[in-house]
Structure 1
Amino acid sequence: MRKLLAVIGLAVPMLVVPAHAGASNRGTGIEVVSSPRPTLVTGGSALVRVDGTGVTVRVGRRDVTKAFVRQSDGSMLGLVDGLPLGGSVITATPRRGPAATVRVVNHPVTGPVFSGRQQVPFFCETTAFGLAPAAPPNCGAPPVVSFQYRTTRGTFAALPDPAIVPPDATVTTVDGRTVPYVVRIERGTIDRAVYEIAALHDGRAPSPTRAHNAWNRRLVYTFGGGCNVGYHQGATTGGVLNDVFLSQGYAVATSSLNVLDNNCNYVISAEVAMMVREHFIESYGPPAHTIGWGGSGGAIQQYDIADNYPGILDGIVPQISFPDAVTTGGTVGDCRLLNRYFTANPGYTDDQKEAVSGYGAWGSCVNWDLAFASRGNATEACPPAIPPQYLYHPTTNPGGIKCTTAEQLVTQLGRDPATGFARGYNDNVGVQYGLSALRAGQITAEQFVDINEKVGGYDVAGNVVAARTVADPLALTRSYRTGLVLAGTGGLATTPVLDLRAYTDALNDIHTRFWSFAVRQRMVDAFGPSGARGQAMLVTSPGSDRSRYALAAMDAWLTAIAADRRHGSDRARMLRNRPADLSDGCWTPAGERIAADLAWRGTGPCDTLYPSFADTRIAAGAPLRNDVLKCQLKPLTPHGFTAEQVSRLRAVFPDGVCDWSRPGVGYRGLAGVWQSY
């Protein structure tokens, strides 16, 4: 495997073979419960569960038995701290019988664990969260605990002393217990990110070995949207003060590097989420399950983490979703090119522009240009947290930070030594813009030729040029192998998905509905018809909030999976425990729930109410799964054009046009889950 990875040029990723967290012998067992696997312990501590009676627990020769507390299920739970960096062996020895052991590998709390070389320079923003100023590049600051309460006005307010609850505080019910609606919030730094953890306060400091009387033993992990280059800590998180979660007893966790606008790299996001979740478990105890939550870029992180680093999130609720940042980037770049073309060449109707773009509203494509096309340019959308003197300039600072999405993925893509830029995965060679519109008679042959003659592409710095964009061959292969392009063949095989979308296709919004079907198609291609069963898809009207429904449905699904002791694979267990009433469907603007099968461009009641459209690549003939970064080519065989137009088309497409029936250039299957760089 290492030879294969070297051949395709990956940044030395090693595939971590899935392993059981612990071992057991004749009734004595030991497992690490705070980390997805024992080789990924961080911060010098691990929450460990031991089964058996009369057991002595040691780390090496050090006796740590006193750290363990008997639990209601008969096991012992203990926080083992003081672990040195590197490997250690934890041993559980009963009075009689053989010992059980588990080898742990401890990594620094500042990271990295599996994400590879960290970005330098890296700028701190701890003070945005009320933490002490921090020193780069690790940006560490001591944790701070504060309290808030829910007022009778339905807002959160600061609470200086949690022992004194104001008269306007509300109460809530958790697992049948009425408790004060007082929230404990902890903020600190892990893996160079600022983390936040919130949970109802039960009057005592949290402990991983005691029952918490105001926590329902479930964790929601939130992710934030956007997409931008990193090199800074970030001043926002996915958010933790959420009444839907907290009022029901859920704990909530997140971090600044789980916001894609602060860090557009799902590998870093996965690592931070794993480490923050580990810290939460070592503070509060193991949750029954962890649910991912977030929209747009927050949905990208959920899909990509679930597929590539399974075990961090048990179930996910992506909202207004996209599959990944890389394949979405193709249409983003196209929209800038088309917007510039139509601006320079007036005379097209909005209907024609929509037909060429594939979107239900031309404004969606315009807004892709205005909001995110700049993220492909080295100088246009640099985060303000990065001092200007560190930024790229083609003449005065060619080695500076290049503010492109690809730069954030350089560990996976590699850097082109000839240009100094991250290897590029975008490509539009052979793409026949407006092909579907031409075939439908919505644009003329001359308009089709003119668009494709003049649409252009991008240079290495993301500037619009006359020539088409050409991807780096290594970037293509690495994008597929590392999961930068969502494969759907990894952890999504066993991870329940509830894809929730507020319908905005008619509102000039970028969060268009077909992307949910693109993800589903990848899952169906991976697993056959049952691929659709792993993803429940729900659509609602703009502005309608169905968070409570989605949270309850995912909780029921995960609870049923955990209770299932029947034989079968993890995938079979996931599929057969999908709640019977969790069908695909939608809510009408009046709030009526309709259970109905959903299909891209379908004719059912929900698909008629909330029609799905396409994007620039699908309008050019690409398949619904929309994962072709660079198309393979076939000969141009024009029909219905004049001889002069044919000559011009051959000049535009000298090597042929896209053959969408074949996989993309450089396509390889996912190299495996838990890749390390």
Structure 2
Amino acid sequence: MRVLKWLLLLGLVLALILLWPQKDIPGSFYEPHPVLAVPPERHGDLLPVDDFIGRTTRPVDPYSYPIPLGEVGPSIPIFSGPQQYPFYCAFHQMGIEPPLIDNDDGYGIAVLNEAGELQGYSKDCLHPSRLLWFTLNTAGEVASYQGGDLAAGEWLLRAELGTIQRHFYLLVMPVQPDEFPQRTGKTLWNNKLIYQFHGGVGIGFRQGELRIERLLRNRAAQLRQGYAVVSSSANRTSHTYHFLRAEEVARQLKQHFISLYGEPEMTIGIGGSGGGIAQYLLAQNAPDVLDAAIAQYSYPDMLSQVQYALDCDLLHNYYYFTADEKAFWQSWQHRQWVEGLSTVPDQQVRFGREISAIQLLSGKKPTPMEGATQCINAWFGLSSMVHNPYQGRLRPFVSEAVLQSTHWSYWEDLVDLYGRDEHGFAHSLWDNTGVQYGLLALRDGRLSPEQFIELNARIGSWLPAHQMQPEQARFLPVWHTPIWLSAFGRQNMAAPERTDSGLEVAPRYRANREAMERAYRYGQLFVGKLSIPVLDLRHYLDPVLDMHHLQPSFMARERLAMQGNDHWQRIWVSHPDHTPEQQAFDAVVAWVRAGQAPDSASDRCFDASGQVIAQGDTVWQDDGVCRQIYPVLSNSREQAGAPGHGLHMQCALQPIERALAAGEYADVDMTSWLSKLKQIFPDGVCDYQQPDEAYPLGWTYPLD
């Protein structure tokens, strides 16, 4: 009965997909106040970096701080590259009035008055600075304040909102009631500053919003202790991963704060996911901005995460569509051998029914998966958003003309750093030439040579950007719900081609080396250069298939160790029911003051009640207590033989014969498979004993 019901539901979905003709994006899917047109000129300069950005002097900021109330902050970049367009204003998300009119030529968004009459256009989304006032009670509740007495236990918070480099900034200070409505009162300030970073996945072209009341609630404990807090929508990776742009805003926001209140004793960063990445890279690239960092749920950078994250959909396409033994690959355990990420037997695959429907539409028998993996439950569809220049976000925020003329990808957001190819597309830095997927499983006998050969022959790669297509979808009537027809972005994958010997081989992708080198030089990769305390704090989320898995903490540690800097990082891992955030603040404050890590900042792990399970220098070693309780897994590149530090953006290649002679396949005799290996890897396979081929010329390894 259960199978019959499932088949009936699947049949209904198929009928809706096939019968409903709507392909175009419905008008209801467009964001309000769209960008109508793009100006022809972009202002701003890009810092020339011939060596490494951490050793490159930034130009002097000519702006005279503080930003006057009622005026806008600096808006033309000094060193982070020309202004990006289109640029989508977020005033409606902030619940404030429209931005200032800056042109009458139709560039940007239309600015209307309350009667809906056109007043002009705003291409840069600028807002004058203003003061906002809030109360914070003992329950952590936030309310607007217009003056008058405070209730027992209430705190008064002054918030300043404006724009710097076209992004919103926020500056929050706890104050006494008699300091209302002054701008500069600071009698409750403890002389310490928190810089709040935020995560998410974004591809630029957005001003982004600040969720002010949520930020105040999240930092309530520290505000009551007298900390000041600053943040910017430029430091929110759900809007952009352009960390040079984020650095410039951070510098200017901190300078604005200092001009009002003086130099703080210390500035402590905090933020999760992409907000953790931002702190690792800011600490590396601009060590004078933060004095300490609390990096939550972090990766060392976005680029090395993208390498294995974009493998996931390629693997899914193989499991469901091109593998001969599809049933074998529907086991969660078998997938883990190749993916390395966490897997569980008792969860359902996200979009499982939709995947089965697409298999049917493709003429394939549905093969529902047993269990689930992080690769599919956490990363499914990321390739479409960050990698496909024709897709980006599903909900457009620009006019149809601008939508068609812009390349929507993570790579395009950083095109001023990475450059363009001969077709006008931003260089992609994803690369899988020579990668032998599932190599460790072959070595220990879990995969047969036949399975290893087929996997590597058919997994293929992503097409070059100019050959990609938008995702294929139908929108259901009334609700306008999208139904995807192109599972995993498979229309953008290189298809297998039959060789003269009859082997079907899909080509691999080799990224532009000069673009990768610029990523290193411009600090978009964390190479382990660090001189401030970083407390790497996370919940253990591997068992729930959350993308914020534990291994990246140790990826960062390995890079730090390569530089001799691992004494600057401590790793705290907790059960999801406990968050030792206040302990983390106390630990980094003591660390900054002492100049070295105190016992209170030692490596450690916590249980659900908040008790420290174990702490000290050995708890994260292979046989350490914390590592036994919270196991560290891997990823698809490690399962292919890459080292744990992940700094092999473009591996050095070695001939197959040399790999065989060097014992690359351990006790598995691959001699009889030599011909097929050569067809799959005509340029050779990865030699992970060699440094990254993309490592900048003239740099020592590791960087001195």
Instruction: Tell whether the structures are fold-level matches, with TM greater than 0.5.
Output: yes
What SS does the corresponding residue of 1:223 show, helix, strand or coil?
A: strand
Separation (CA, whole Å) in 2 of partners of 1:506 and 1:38: 44
* Residue 192 of structure 1: aligned partner: 166
Structure 2 counterparts to residues 185-224 of structure 1, below 5 A: 185-202=159-176, 203-204=178-179, 212-224=186-198
Q: Does 1:448 align with 2:452?
A: yes
Q: Does 1:487 align with 2:491?
A: no
What SS does the corresponding residue of 1:619 show, helix, strand or coil?
A: coil
Taking a change above 3 Å as real, the CA distance of residues 314 and 137 of structure 1, as seen in their structure-2 partners, is farther
* 1:40 corresponds to which of 60, 76, 90: 60
* Residue 587 of structure 1: aligned partner: 606
Separation (CA, whole Å) in 1 of partners of 2:559 and 2:96: 43
What SS does the corresponding residue of 2:80 show, helix, strand or coil?
A: coil
* Residue 98 of structure 2: aligned partner: 133
Q: Does 1:312 align with 2:289?
A: yes
**Alignment deviations for residues 432-451 of structure 1 (CA, whole Å, 9 cap, x no partner):** 00011111222222111111
* 1:357 corresponds to which of 339, 347, 357: 339
Contact 1:367–1:508 (8 Å) recurs in 2:
yes
- CA drift of 1:644 comes to 6.7
Which of 635-644 and 446-455 deviates more?
635-644
* Residue 435 of structure 1: aligned partner: 439
Decide which structure has greater strand share: 1
Contact 1:228–1:405 (8 Å) recurs in 2:
yes
Q: Does 1:650 align with 2:678?
A: yes
Taking a change above 3 Å as real, the CA distance of residues 551 and 451 of structure 1, as seen in their structure-2 partners, is same
* 2:692 corresponds to which of 664, 667, 671: 664
Identity of aligned residues (%): 32
Taking a change above 3 Å as real, the CA distance of residues 479 and 365 of structure 1, as seen in their structure-2 partners, is same
* Residue 329 of structure 1: aligned partner: 306
Separation (CA, whole Å) in 2 of partners of 1:17 and 1:660: 26
Q: Does 1:465 align with 2:494?
A: yes
What SS does the corresponding residue of 1:369 show, helix, strand or coil?
A: coil
Which of 638-647 and 228-237 deviates more?
638-647
Contact 1:223–1:237 (8 Å) recurs in 2:
no
What SS does the corresponding residue of 1:257 show, helix, strand or coil?
A: strand
Structure 2 counterparts to residues 433-582 of structure 1, below 5 A: 433-461=437-465, 463-466=492-495, 467-489=507-529, 492=530, 494-527=531-564, 531-561=565-595, 577-582=596-601
- CA drift of 1:359 comes to 1.3
- CA drift of 1:17 comes to 10
* 2:143 corresponds to which of 157, 162, 175: 157
**Alignment deviations for residues 400-438 of structure 1 (CA, whole Å, 9 cap, x no partner):** 22121111111111112x111111211101000001111
* Residue 231 of structure 1: aligned partner: 205
Separation (CA, whole Å) in 2 of partners of 1:17 and 1:657: 32
Q: Does 1:372 align with 2:382?
A: yes
Structure 2 counterparts to residues 171-320 of structure 1, below 5 A: 171=154, 181-202=155-176, 203-204=178-179, 212-236=186-210, 240-241=215-216, 242-320=219-297
**Alignment deviations for residues 122-180 of structure 1 (CA, whole Å, 9 cap, x no partner):** 2211332233311443321112322221235432222222x332x3x525xxxxxxxxx
Contact 2:54–2:523 (8 Å) recurs in 1:
no
Q: Does 1:406 align with 2:406?
A: no
Aligned AA (1:253): V
Separation (CA, whole Å) in 1 of partners of 2:433 and 2:59: 44
Separation (CA, whole Å) in 1 of partners of 2:673 and 2:188: 72
* Residue 624 of structure 2: aligned partner: 604
* Residue 354 of structure 2: aligned partner: none
**Alignment deviations for residues 203-228 of structure 1 (CA, whole Å, 9 cap, x no partner):** 326989x8722111111111111232
Q: Does 1:143 align with 2:129?
A: yes
Q: Does 1:624 align with 2:644?
A: yes
- CA drift of 1:390 comes to 4.9
Aligned AA (1:592): Q
- CA drift of 1:596 comes to 3.2
Contact 1:147–1:185 (8 Å) recurs in 2:
yes
**Alignment deviations for residues 41-84 of structure 1 (CA, whole Å, 9 cap, x no partner):** 353236xxxxxxxxxxxxxxxxxxxxxxxxxxxxxxxx9x99xx
Taking a change above 3 Å as real, the CA distance of residues 669 and 139 of structure 1, as seen in their structure-2 partners, is farther
Separation (CA, whole Å) in 2 of partners of 1:515 and 1:390: 40
> What is the number of residues matched between the two proteins?
549
* Residue 389 of structure 1: aligned partner: 400
Separation (CA, whole Å) in 2 of partners of 1:18 and 1:424: 24
* Residue 77 of structure 2: aligned partner: 112
**Alignment deviations for residues 430-486 of structure 1 (CA, whole Å, 9 cap, x no partner):** 000001111122222211111111111112226222321220121121111221111
* 1:423 corresponds to which of 427, 444, 447: 427
Aligned AA (1:133): P
Structure 2 counterparts to residues 64-75 of structure 1, below 5 A: none
- CA drift of 1:343 comes to 2.0
Separation (CA, whole Å) in 2 of partners of 1:130 and 1:292: 27
Taking a change above 3 Å as real, the CA distance of residues 371 and 293 of structure 1, as seen in their structure-2 partners, is farther
Taking a change above 3 Å as real, the CA distance of residues 552 and 470 of structure 1, as seen in their structure-2 partners, is same
Taking a change above 3 Å as real, the CA distance of residues 378 and 600 of structure 1, as seen in their structure-2 partners, is farther
Separation (CA, whole Å) in 2 of partners of 1:659 and 1:37: 36
Contact 1:335–1:368 (8 Å) recurs in 2:
no
Taking a change above 3 Å as real, the CA distance of residues 559 and 447 of structure 1, as seen in their structure-2 partners, is same
Taking a change above 3 Å as real, the CA distance of residues 114 and 237 of structure 1, as seen in their structure-2 partners, is farther
Aligned AA (1:440): D
Contact 1:120–1:231 (8 Å) recurs in 2:
yes
Taking a change above 3 Å as real, the CA distance of residues 300 and 544 of structure 1, as seen in their structure-2 partners, is same
**Alignment deviations for residues 558-604 of structure 1 (CA, whole Å, 9 cap, x no partner):** 2334xxxxxxxxxxxxxxx2213321111123322121335767221
- CA drift of 1:379 comes to 2.6
What residue ranges of structure 1 are gaps of 5+ in the alignment?
A: 1-9, 20-35, 47-78, 83-106, 172-180, 562-576, 673-677
Separation (CA, whole Å) in 2 of partners of 1:508 and 1:451: 24
What SS does the corresponding residue of 1:618 show, helix, strand or coil?
A: coil
Contact 1:42–1:109 (8 Å) recurs in 2:
no
Taking a change above 3 Å as real, the CA distance of residues 606 and 205 of structure 1, as seen in their structure-2 partners, is same
Separation (CA, whole Å) in 2 of partners of 1:383 and 1:311: 39
Contact 2:379–2:547 (8 Å) recurs in 1:
no
RMSD of Structure 2 on Structure 1 (CA): 2.9
Aligned AA (1:581): S
Aligned AA (2:89): C
What SS does the corresponding residue of 1:420 show, helix, strand or coil?
A: coil
Separation (CA, whole Å) in 2 of partners of 1:111 and 1:199: 27
Contact 2:73–2:163 (8 Å) recurs in 1:
no
* Residue 13 of structure 1: aligned partner: 49
Separation (CA, whole Å) in 2 of partners of 1:329 and 1:17: 22
Separation (CA, whole Å) in 2 of partners of 1:108 and 1:249: 26
* Residue 56 of structure 1: aligned partner: none
Taking a change above 3 Å as real, the CA distance of residues 351 and 330 of structure 1, as seen in their structure-2 partners, is same
Aligned AA (1:353): R
Aligned AA (2:284): D
Superposition TM-score, scaled by structure 1 size: 0.76
Taking a change above 3 Å as real, the CA distance of residues 309 and 429 of structure 1, as seen in their structure-2 partners, is same
- CA drift of 1:620 comes to 0.5
Taking a change above 3 Å as real, the CA distance of residues 579 and 206 of structure 1, as seen in their structure-2 partners, is farther
Contact 2:603–2:620 (8 Å) recurs in 1:
no
